[in-house]
Chain A
Amino acid sequence: MFTFEKKKKDTMVLNMGPSHNATHGTLRIVLELDGEKIVNSNLEIGYLHRGIEKMAEQRTYNGFIPLTDRMNYVSPIMNNISYALAVEKLLGIEVPKRGQYLRVIMNELTRIADHLVAVGTNVVDIGALTNYFYFFKERERIYDLIEKFVGARLTTSFTRVGGIARDVPDGFESDVKSLLKEIPKSIQDVDKLLTKNRIFMDRTIDVGSMTQEKALEYGFTGPVLRATGLAWDLRKTQPYSSYEDFQFDVPIGENGDTYDRYLVRMEEMRQSLRIIQQAIDNLPGGPVSVDDPHITLPPKEDVYNTMEGLIHHFMLIMYGIKAKPGYVYFGTEVANGELGFYIVSDGQQYPYRLKVRPPCFAIFQAFPEMIQGHLISDAVAILGSLNIVAGELDR
């Protein structure tokens, strides 16, 4: 049973969650309060644990992709891409340029959508509701585009091992270009409303700050680490999926507090727009998946009309992709930080062991230290700024 020991006498214990308006997911935070000040706190997670890693051991490599949607449900496409890249690394294959560029475009669109949610809901918790509507309007536009392309809004299952499910529909490029014109306006509006806003600054500056040393030791990655002043972005430092082709900057903060995290996220959205612009301008032609019948499904005409096509289709559906014995760890930069997959293969069509490295998990364990000595309302602001997604935290 979950136990909580009080540190001081004459304090009150307050239970936040597992179902609470300000936690954005099922997490439980037990706070010990002296007046409104937090003296001690404890966390309990695992309410959304579905045993994804155990399920992965019974599924083919492609069969696990739908489960990655359910990890970080705010940006499912990034999980799809991250997992596909890890398996491709294990198999030693590389996706054609067009597939890589389309992945980059979708990846960055989802990063914007994720940051829109993170910033939007964070400021709602602080009390600024208008920005939420400005941002969610744009998020809706991005989801419309994703729905047009993939067929689903949240449960995307966008990638396949060795490429993506299908090529883009007609009019995709003009849709993306019109989005690129619309999103900056909303970011500009929210920027004007919040960045120099006295109340917002008072609520966020020096709230939940973290030193760079401590952040690294805790295993922080992503915007929360960059807010402490370290320009560590896997897209720049260890490029994957053609990220080395694009020009973009890595924004950093200074103090690692809630305000800096907000600024980093806002700037990252603008940089993502820059990447999308470059990718859509230079979108190469050609196939989107690798041309290997042991990995990619053949086109439908071949399945119906040729013997080889039918055999390849049958073998892939019935037996799946086989990886040679070995292991791989591959981490990519998703909206929250580094999402990594550690896959051990024993030569079968199923992974022998699959371990997910969720970025939230490392970040959330530092939460009690961050809220120590702050007020309850600050704890809510800090929790929002960390962008904890329970589906990814518990898997």
Chain B
Amino acid sequence: MSELIESIKNRFGGKIISVQEEFRPRSIKVAAGDLLEIMTVLKNEEPFRFNQILDIAGVDFLNQKPRFLVAYILLSTIKNKRLIVETDVDEFESVPSLTGVWCGADWFERELYDMSGIKVKGHPNLKRILMSEDFEGHPLRKDFPVRGTTPPEQRYAPWDKRRTREY
């Protein structure tokens, strides 16, 4: 077991559900409820000091329960270490927002919501970021079709906020 994983286990004890050391970077799995607390410690306390959040990825395992896996990819420029913190969420559950820990998590969480449809609780501005506001569905879910059918022709009249469809 590596030094980092050992110190994480000592610090958090039973809150770590599982540890993955086969792949790089190493990852730990925690419950969504503990996420905020663990991340705050991982960012601020020795010997972790993960001062950067590089990315947040949502992975959809369609037929599993819980359905989604959210991976937070962390980097410590102080210790020169990487770590992935994973958490499982189901379709109608949410993950806590980390914007209070790293302000840079803002857009990544919006992307997570936009692409995978995972709600982020406590986010100051949880709107779609890459798709347009009136887009239906979340493209990176596995049940979202890859090849769309021909969309109905749309006309948009912004002055009366009404949408007309011609089939």
Question: In chain B, residues 90-138, which have Cβ atoms closer than 8 Å to a Cβ of chain A?
Answer: 102-104, 106-108, 111, 115, 128-134
Q: Does A219 contact B (CB under 8 A)?
A: yes
Residues of B near A1 (CB, < 8 A) are 133-134, 158
Contact (Cβ within 8 A) A45 B130: yes
Q: Does B40 contact A (CB under 8 A)?
A: no
Contact digits for A40-62, partner B, Cβ 8 Å, 1 yes 0 no: 00000110010101110110000
Report the nearest B residue to A53, measured CB to CB: B140
Partner of A49, one of B59, B71, B131: B131
Q: Does A29 contact B (CB under 8 A)?
A: no
Q: List 30 A-B contacts (CB under 8 A).
A: A2-B133, A46-B129, A46-B130, A49-B130, A53-B140, A54-B140, A57-B146, A58-B146, A216-B77, A217-B52, A217-B102, A219-B52, A232-B77, A237-B77, A237-B80, A326-B22, A326-B23, A329-B25, A329-B82, A329-B84, A331-B54, A331-B75, A338-B75, A340-B54, A340-B73, A342-B71, A344-B59, A353-B60, A362-B104, A365-B104
B-side binding surface: helix, strand, loop or mixed? loop
Q: Does A270 contact B (CB under 8 A)?
A: no
User: A248 to nearest B CB, angstroms?
Assistant: 18
Contact (Cβ within 8 A) B52 A216: yes
Q: Does A243 contact B (CB under 8 A)?
A: no
| Docked pose: A350 CA to B144 CA in angstroms | 17
User: A42 to nearest B CB, angstroms?
Assistant: 10
Contact (Cβ within 8 A) B59 A53: no
| Docked pose: A326 CA to B128 CA in angstroms | 29
User: B120 to nearest A CB, angstroms?
Assistant: 15
Q: Does B57 contact A (CB under 8 A)?
A: yes
Contact (Cβ within 8 A) B104 A355: no
Contact (Cβ within 8 A) A394 B140: no
Contact (Cβ within 8 A) B57 A342: yes
Contact digits for A335-370, partner B, Cβ 8 Å, 1 yes 0 no: 000101010100000001101010001100110000
Contact (Cβ within 8 A) B133 A353: no
Partner of A355, one of B57, B128, B158: B57
| Docked pose: A340 CA to B51 CA in angstroms | 17
Given A45-B129, A362-B104: A54 and B54 interface contact (C-beta under 8 Å)? no
Contact digits for B54-85, partner A, Cβ 8 Å, 1 yes 0 no: 11010110000000000101010100101010
Q: Does A238 contact B (CB under 8 A)?
A: yes
Residues of A near B60 (CB, < 8 A) are 353
Q: Does A381 contact B (CB under 8 A)?
A: no
Partner of B130, one of A219, A329, A394: A394
Report the nearest B residue to A364, measured CB to CB: B107
Residues of A near B73 (CB, < 8 A) are 329, 340, 342, 357
User: A124 to nearest B CB, angstroms?
Assistant: 28
Contact (Cβ within 8 A) B59 A353: yes
Which B residues are closer than 8 A to A by beta carbons? Answer: 22-25, 27, 51-55, 57, 59-60, 71, 73, 75, 77, 80, 82, 84, 102-104, 106-108, 111, 115, 128-134, 139-140, 144, 146, 158
Partner of B103, one of A58, A217, A237: A217
| Docked pose: A362 CA to B54 CA in angstroms | 8
Contact digits for A354-390, partner B, Cβ 8 Å, 1 yes 0 no: 0101000110011000000000000000000000000
| Docked pose: A46 CA to B77 CA in angstroms | 30
Report the nearest B residue to A393, measured CB to CB: B130
Which are the 6 A-B pairs with shortest beta-carbon distances? A219-B104, A355-B57, A218-B104, A46-B130, A357-B55, A365-B107
Report the nearest B residue to A232, measured CB to CB: B77
Q: Does A327 contact B (CB under 8 A)?
A: yes
Question: In chain A, residues 1-49, which have Cβ atoms closer than 8 Å to a Cβ of chain B?
Answer: 1-2, 45-46, 49
Q: Does A230 contact B (CB under 8 A)?
A: yes
Question: In chain A, residues 307-329, which have Cβ atoms closer than 8 Å to a Cβ of chain B?
Answer: 326-329
Further pairs besides A216-B77, A352-B59, A395-B130: 18, Cβ < 8 Å: A1-B134, A1-B158, A45-B130, A46-B132, A49-B131, A54-B144, A55-B146, A58-B146, A217-B102, A326-B22, A327-B71, A327-B84, A328-B23, A328-B24, A342-B57, A342-B73, A355-B57, A361-B107
